[in-house]
Structure 1
Amino acid sequence: MTADGEQKVEDAFTIQESDCCGNGCTNCILDNKPKPSQRALLAGKRNIILKYTRFRLLQRDSHKGDDQVLFLHFAADSDEKDDCVLDIPPGHHVMLRIGSLLRPYSPYWTDFASKEFKILVKLQPDGPMSKNLAAMQLNDRLEFRGPIGNYQHDPAVTKCIFIIAQGVAIAPTLLLVGQVLENEDDMSRIWHLVCSPDLQHVYFRDQLLEFAKYWNYRSCLYVPHQQCGSAACLVAGHCIQECDELRRSLRYKERVCLHRLDASELESHANPAIPGLRVLIIAGDSGFQQAMGEAAARALAVAQENVYLL
């Protein structure tokens, strides 16, 4: 590599205080700066997202008519496309910059060669970044930088991986699950515990059902506010486990609990007889991470150094 090339790489890793979004992210860019990509190096190319790069909006969809939850698909908009790839490892996020606004988002799908990625966004009322995203049109350009995070998975080490996801934060966990299930040599097992108010707000249900075809994957949906119009459920204020309407709405082998995920429920998933290093991944807002973190680690017998917050 030439001196100029070395300087460009060094510039890509330079982090300033202004790169922090100020939202108290668990994986702050000041602590987890974008790293060189081994995949990109092997390909003889650079990772296009190491510095702020423009990406074009290819597709925008709402979740079942809910215009507050958006599926956004981006592609790199660069003159150097042939010299670059896009590598965002599972469990990492990218930083979106619009003017002085910065917000982290975690992709649920990426394409290494075509330099594309998808994110799931929940718009917040009166949120400055949400207003910008709500106004976006196809082919608009936004700037992203990354990848930021500290999670790494070694397929050579058999693990029991417990993933607890809240609402839209299920999105980045899909890549974490995929990298295990798609590797036939990986003997790790996954427990995917998804917390949502009701079934309508369980995102990627079809993808979860695809995962359920694998021997080493198990999921459970926790939907404490599921409600139908039957007399018994209206009296209870939520669906009851015997609800016929609820049963008709479930898919094959779909497991649902009509209460919150708590310590006793977590213990039911522990199963110490199954071998493997215990790993806990919690995806959600800071309040959810704090509420779940200590209780889940204790109930599932996970050492603190193997707890990851997304």
Structure 2
Amino acid sequence: MKGNEKHKISMECETIVSDCDVRVAEDAVQSAPRNAGDSRDDNNLQLLLQAPNIALNSDLHQPPEKPLDSDLFPQPLQKLLDSDLPPLPPEELHDNDLQQPQEKPLDKELSDLPLPLEKPLDSDLFPPPPEKPVDGDLLPQPPEKPLDRNFLPKLPEKPLDSNLHQPLEKPLDSDPYPQPPEKPLDSDCCGTGCVPCVFDIHMQEMKIWEKECRRIRQRLECGNADGQDDSVKILSETEYHQFTIASITTITKDTRLYRFHLPTNRSLGLKLGQHLIIRGLVDGNVVTRQYTPVSDVKVTDYFELLIKLYKDGKMSQFIETWRPGMKADMRGPFGEFSYSQNQHERILMLAAGSGIAPMVQIIQGVLNNEEDETRIQLLYACRTYSDILMKSQLDEWAEFWNFSVLYILSQEPSGVKTNYRYKDKIHLGRLDKDLLVNEIQTPVVSRTKFLISGTKSFDKDMLKYCKILGILDCDIHKF
């Protein structure tokens, strides 16, 4: 028998059984009134009325609405997990919920703090906001009892930096006396009878040093740190005065023009041909050297020095440290140049290098005097055309009828085109005896004043040439 046929037969059987159940139920209901007086029948009737709750034969053959597996396993298991499980005792939750129970008491404890979120936990390591802040003394409203209030009135009486108001006392106490001047070597004297000689200057320096030591000793004993007296002269032959550097101008690669301040409407008070002595300290030794101002002796408010720096010179090492605003020690004046307009019709100047400085001072003095008709002839020896000092000033003076200049260049490169000034008179070579004889014009030697200024070797050569030409000593002046 096939499966379909079996199923059909089964369905027909189930239908028959169902019909039988219905009929039995109907018969029971119909017979109920007839048996109402009997208590036993009443019980049977009650049983019949509850019959639907009792499984009939047809129920045994009907398939369940839900599979048995779904009723037994999925639903009971879900109910057991969600609702039927009783809560675990506290001791059983101790290990599983270790962190969660701690968060609530921590939040509760932190909520009791005054500022739980505004301050970090490590803020407890620092002191609480101070009632008297560290920088409170700097605020415009000081505390009621500031620490410094009691000391403010006493500061002027006993200042901690009181020594700053007397800067000279401590240096004088630690090193009260200046270093003595360095004695010149025998080779420092040129042996040509310079006035003053380097040894004469050294003797004067020693006297000045002794005088300064006595003055410092008196000042220390009397407690007087006073500086120079306002009533003293601008220049003194026996005392050094300080002059402030106003400006520094570069003339050539090794020559500078230094301008110094003077009191208003005051001049140095020099005469023509006079010079100054500058004092410096190099490696603990005092050095001195003579310099002639190139500014007009009558100029006021300032004066100027033309200084050529030598790499091997101690004074050059000192002067190279000069800067505007610094002060330099000077004394003077020394030397004097004089000539008579009636006895001398001409001044012949023999200069080399920075030896032009004293010549410049005399040229200005003569040309600025309208009554002086003395003719000036300058023989200026330099290495090259670019080494000529005070060139622009010399060019202006060359326009005067009584001034002329010849530039003698000993090391000017030959064959090199140089832009000479149109009116410049130039001689390539050295200033020797032949050139000197050609320039001095022998017939008027007796009415010529000879001025010499240059290096030691240059001065010796010029003096020797003058002796050969028969020039009298009274007509020779060496700076």
Same fold (TM over 0.5): yes
Cα distance in 1 between the residues matched to 2:378 and 2:338: 18
Q: Deviations over 1:254-282 (max 9, x none)?
A: 10001111111111112245597221001
- Written as runs of structure 1 = structure 2, the 5 A alignment for 1:201-240 is 201-227=387-413, 238-239=414-415
Matched, 1:196 2:361: no
Q: Deviations over 1:80-111 (max 9, x none)?
A: x4796411222221000124221111111146
Structure 2 partner of 1:129: 315
Given the alignment of the two structures, is residue 53 of structure 1 paired with residue 241 of structure 2, yes or no? yes
Render the CA deviation track for 1:195-230: whole Å, top value 9, x for unaligned: 000001011111111111111212100002112xxx
Paired residue for 2:195?
A: 27
Q: Which residue of 2 aligns with 1:139?
A: 325
Q: CA deviation at 1:154?
A: 3.4
Equivalent in the alignment of 2:13? none
The secondary structure found in structure 2 opposite 1:162 is strand
Q: Does 2:443 align with 1:261?
A: no
Compute the displacement of 1:293 (Å).
1.0
Distance 1:83 1:208, change over 3 A: closer
Q: More helix by proportion, 1 or 2?
A: 2
Length, aligned pairs only = 260
Q: CA offsets per residue over residues 53-90 of structure 1, 9 Å max, x none?
A: 110000112124x1x211111124xxxx4796411222
Instruction: Tell me, yes or no, if structure 1 residue 96 matches structure 2 residue 284.
Output: no
What residue identity is the alignment partner of 1:153? Y
Aligned to 1:296, the other structure's residue is in SS state helix
Match of residue 62, structure 1, among 250, 266, 271: 250
User: What displacement does 1:126 show?
Assistant: 3.6
Alignment check: 8 A CA contact 2:272 2:336 kept: no
Structure 1 residues without counterparts, runs of 5 or longer: 1-16, 34-44, 228-237
2:473 corresponds to 1:304? yes
Q: Is the 8 A contact 1:109 1:119 kept in 2?
A: yes
Tell me, in whole angstroms, the C-alpha distance in 2 between the residues paired with 1:82 and 1:251.
38
Q: State the distance in 1 between where 2:300 and 2:260 align.
A: 10
Q: In the TM superposition, what is the alpha-carbon distance from 1:159 to its structure 2 partner?
A: 2.3
Pair 1:250-2:415 in alignment: no
The answer to whether the 8 Å contact 2:296/2:364 transfers is: no
Q: Structure 1 residues 172 and 275 mapped into 2: Cα distance closer, same or farther (>3 Å)?
A: closer
Work out the CA distance in 2 between the residues paired with 1:289 and 1:143.
28
2:195 is paired with a residue of what secondary structure?
A: coil
CA contact (8 A) 1:159 1:276 kept: no
CA distance in structure 2 between the aligned counterparts of 1:73 and 1:223, rounded to whole angstroms: 29
Q: CA offset at residue 18 of structure 1? A: 5.7
Change (3 A) 1:297 1:119: farther
C-alpha separation in 1, matches of 2:336 and 2:350: 17
Question: Larger strand proportion, structure 1 or 2?
Answer: 1
CA deviations 1:18-74 (Å, max 9, x no partner) are: 69877437232738x8xxxxxxxxxxx97511231110000112124x1x2111111
Equivalent in the alignment of 1:176: 362
Provide the C-alpha distance between the structure 2 equivalents of 1:211 and 1:298, rounded to a whole number of angstroms: 31
How many percent of aligned residue pairs carry the same amino acid? 22
Distance (Å, rounded) in 2 between the aligned partners of 1:153 and 1:294: 22
Q: Distance in 1 between matches of 2:264 and 2:250?
A: 32
Could you tell me how far apart the structure 1 residues matched to 2:428 and 2:265 are?
A: 51
Decide whether the 8 Å contact of 2:275 with 2:291 is kept in 1: yes
1:55 and 1:142 in contact (8 A); partners too:
yes
CA contact (8 A) 2:242 2:330 kept: yes
Q: Which amino acid aligns with 1:291?
A: D
**CA displacement at 1:187 relative to structure 2:** 2.3
Cα deviations by residue, 1:152-198 (Å, 9 ceiling, x for unpaired):
23345442211011011112211111222222222211110000000
Q: Is the 8 A contact 1:88 1:110 kept in 2?
A: no
Q: Is the CA contact (8 Å cut-off) linking 1:46 and 1:83 kept in structure 2?
A: no
Equivalent residues of 2:398, 2:404 under 8 A apart: yes
Amino acid in the other structure paired with 1:52: Y
Q: Which runs of 5+ in 2 are unaligned?
A: 1-179, 205-230
CA contact (8 A) 1:159 1:275 kept: no
DSSP 3-state at the match of 2:288 = strand
The 3 A distance-change label for structure 1 pair 210 and 47 is: farther
Task: Return closer, same or farther for 1:110/1:52 CA change in 2, 3 Å cut-off.
Answer: farther
Larger-Rg structure:
2
**273-282 vs 184-193, which moves further:** 273-282
The separation in 2 between residues aligned to 1:136 and 1:108, in whole angstroms, is: 19
Sort the Cα spacing of 1:83 and 1:201 in 2 relative to 1 into closer, same or farther, 3 A.
closer
The 2-side partners of 1:82 and 1:307 are apart by 37
- Match of 1:109, SS? coil
Residue identity matched to 2:362: L
What amino acid sits opposite 1:261 in the alignment? L
RMSD of aligned C-alpha atoms? Answer: 2.9
What is the CA-CA distance between 1:115 and the residue it aligns to? 4.7
| Partner SS state of residue 331, structure 2 | strand
